A and B are shown apart, each in its own frame.
Chain A
Amino acid sequence: MKLKKLITAVVGTIAIPFASIAGEDSQLSIDGQLMVTRVAAPAHMENVDEIFSGWVFRTDETQALQMDDFDNPAFVFIDKAIDTFNKVDGTAGKACVSCHESPEVFKGLRASMPRVNSSGELETIPELVNGCRTERMGAEKWKWSSGSMAGIVGLIGLQSRGMMVDVAIDGPASSMWEKGKELYYTRVGQLNMSCSNCHEDNYGNMIRADHLSMGQINGFPTYRLKNAKLNTIHGRFKGCMKNIRATPYKEGGDEFKALELYVASRSNGLTVETPSVRN
Chain B
Amino acid sequence: MKFTRRDTMAIGGATALTTILPSLSSAAIPVDELVMGVTGGADAASTGISLTAPEIAENGNTVPISVDAPGAVAITVLAAGNPLPGVATFNFGSGSASQSATTRIRLAGTQDVIAVAEMADGSFASVHQTVKVTIGGCGG
Taking a contact as CB atoms under 8 Å apart, the answer to whether A279 and B14 are in contact is no
Chain A 27-69 interface 0/1 with B at a Cβ cutoff of 8 Å (1 = within): 0000000000000000000000000000000111110110000
* Chain B interface, >50% SS class: loop
Taking a contact as CB atoms under 8 Å apart, the answer to whether B61 and A210 are in contact is no
- Residue A228 CB within 8 A of the other chain: yes
- Residue A97 CB within 8 A of the other chain: no
Taking a contact as CB atoms under 8 Å apart, the answer to whether B137 and A225 are in contact is no
- Residue B64 CB within 8 A of the other chain: yes
Chain B: interface residue total (CB-CB under 8 A):
23
Q: A3-B7, A59-B58 are in contact. Are A210 and B137 (CB under 8 A)?
A: yes
Q: A10-B17, A209-B134, A210-B134 are in contact. Are A243 and B140 (CB under 8 A)?
A: yes
Hey, which bits of chain A sit against chain B, CB under 8 A?
A: 3, 6-7, 10, 58-62, 64-65, 73, 206-210, 212, 225-228, 236, 238-243, 279
Chain B 26-65 interface 0/1 with A at a Cβ cutoff of 8 Å (1 = within): 0000000000000000000000000000101111011110
Enumerate chain A residues within 8 angstroms of B1, measured Cβ to Cβ.
3
List 10 additional contacts besides A225-B59, A243-B138; criterion CB under 8 Å.
Answer: A3-B7, A6-B14, A10-B13, A58-B58, A61-B57, A61-B64, A210-B137, A212-B137, A243-B139, A279-B136
Taking a contact as CB atoms under 8 Å apart, the answer to whether A62 and B138 are in contact is no
Chain B, 87-140, CB within 8 A of any chain A CB = 134-140
Enumerate chain A residues within 8 angstroms of B63, measured Cβ to Cβ.
61
Enumerate chain B residues within 8 angstroms of A64, measured Cβ to Cβ.
64
